[in-house]
A = this chain, B = another copy of it.
Amino acid sequence: MTPIRVGLLGLGTVGSGTVQVLKRNREEIARRAGREILITKATARNLAKPRDFDLDGIELVADAEQLVSDPNIDIVCELIGGDTTTKDLVLSAIAQGKHVVTANKALLAKHGTEIFAAALKARVIVAFEAAVAGGVPIIKTLREGLTANRIEWIAGIINGTSNYILSEMRSRGASFDTVLAEAQAKGYAEADPTFDIEGIDAAHKLTLLSAIAFGIPVQFDKAYTEGISKLTDKDIKYAEQLGYRIKLLGITRNTGHGIELRVHPTLIPAKRLIANVEGVMNAILVKGDAVGATLYYGRGAGSEATASAVVADLVDVTRMLTADPEHRVPHLAFQPDQLRDTPILPINEVETAYYLRLSAYDKPGVMADVTRVLADLDISIDAILQKEAEEGEDIVDVIILTHRAIEKRVDAAIARIEKLPTIAGKVVRVRLEELS
């Protein structure tokens, strides 16, 4: 089957990530989509700019309208951002029967009604998973995963820059201005940070989430927006003393007599999972009447995280254009003829770290014996915790955390340790994962 041909508008942060992810995972993505997805054409602000990634097979053109009109393009991928030139380009692509994938929250929060109506009329898809929370598939979750529910409310950390600033202000007691300057130096905040720190970016995203949750048109102009630039480290400290954290939340709630749509700094109980989302991470808490509270967490921005959502949309469109409707999405994600017989490893070939608890006689030489066994089997030690013997007991607990090792070597070590004369009884073993 011929590949799906994608025209990319914009080779900035998200555009370059999209090129790289599609190239690197080309084979795996085709196994899922049922067809190859190729970027064949792209526009960029500066065509001559040297780029540190492979653009092989991609024709660079200066004229965006020419790309949109190219009959050899099946999907137009709009990654320019902003709502000035993009609106005309997207409407033009739709009018010419192209499917559109976009990451543009500002465009859709303001002009979604017009764009969606045009797409319906032209019978093309406009997909926008990347517009909210980067690679976290929150649009799909709300539109398809939670359709059984009356959504009660959504509360989200949907701007990484402001969450980074608030996290740093809290953990170090630093002032807003200090942390903002650092964030700018690190590239976490723009030179003009207004959109992020004043809640405008979050309000764009919240407008989309609210419309999807409650079945209302997008109405960015009705959103209440208050940023974090006036927050002091003093208030963050007092909030903490009272058991709260301050987060910039986008909140939308169906009250029964109207819908709340608001972005502002918010105190939330420190014990909530969402209160512990730190740094540039995003998290969205959705309360449905059937499912209860659910939370979705991940990187909300960045080149490849956002590209993850862009490419997922490209796969969605490709599957729709390719498969029998009943099997648009394969049961096991990959096309049925693309399953592999990669072996499942037996547990003794798995590599992980270990917690070992030994019952040892409280006398000299125990540690030397045990560490010798571990060293002989090339198992290295991360930490040792030796407990005091209890009154009248001659046996003490020794806890050892190992670095990663193949399980069969750990099994062998345990067998040898249990035979040591300084050890009483069985070794307790629990596996340990850093999950980082």
Contacts and interface: CB of A to CB of B under 8 A. Distances in A.
B135 A435 contact: no
A197 B189 CA distance: 47
Contacts of A211: 332, 339
Query: Counting chain B CB atoms within 10 Å of each CB, which of A24, A137, A235, A274 scores highest?
Result: A137
Given A25-B149, A289-B24, A347-B262, A251 B332 contact: no
B123 A430 contact: no
Nearest to A122: B326
Contacts of A249: 433
A308 interface: yes
Interface in A194-233: 211-219, 222-224, 231-232
Interface string A283-318: 001001111111111110000110111111001100
A31 interface: yes
A84 interface: no
A347 B224 CA distance: 6
B320 A325 contact: yes
A142 B258 CA distance: 35
A327 B267 CA distance: 40
B142 A291 contact: no
A24 B211 CA distance: 21
Interface stretch (A5-13, A70-78, A124-132, A360-368): A124-132
Contacts of A112: 331-332
Given A296-B296, A333-B142, A435-B272, A242 B290 contact: no
Given A25-B150, A312-B145, A342-B216, A432 B124 contact: no
A391 B135 CA distance: 51
Give the secondary structure class of A's interface.
mixed
Contacts of A213: 333
A273 B268 contact: no
B430 A266 contact: yes
A147 to B, nearest CB: 4
Given A135-B292, A149-B25, A344-B222, A433 B267 contact: yes
A320 B328 contact: yes
Nearest to A213: B333
Contacts of A274: 435
Nearest to A246: B430
A17 interface: yes
A251 B334 CA distance: 20
Query: Counting chain B CB atoms within 10 Å of each CB, which of A29, A231, A274, A297 scores highest?
Result: A297
A241 interface: yes
Interface in A8-29: 17, 21-22, 24-25, 28-29
Interface string A123-167: 111100100001111001111111111100001000000000000
B339 A216 contact: yes
A431 interface: yes
A241 B328 CA distance: 50
Contacts of A173: none
B304 A124 contact: no
B217 A28 contact: no
Interface stretch (A85-93, A349-357, A369-377): A349-357
A383 interface: yes
11 contacts: A29-B148, A116-B336, A123-B326, A212-B333, A258-B345, A260-B350, A264-B431, A265-B431, A267-B353, A273-B297, A291-B304
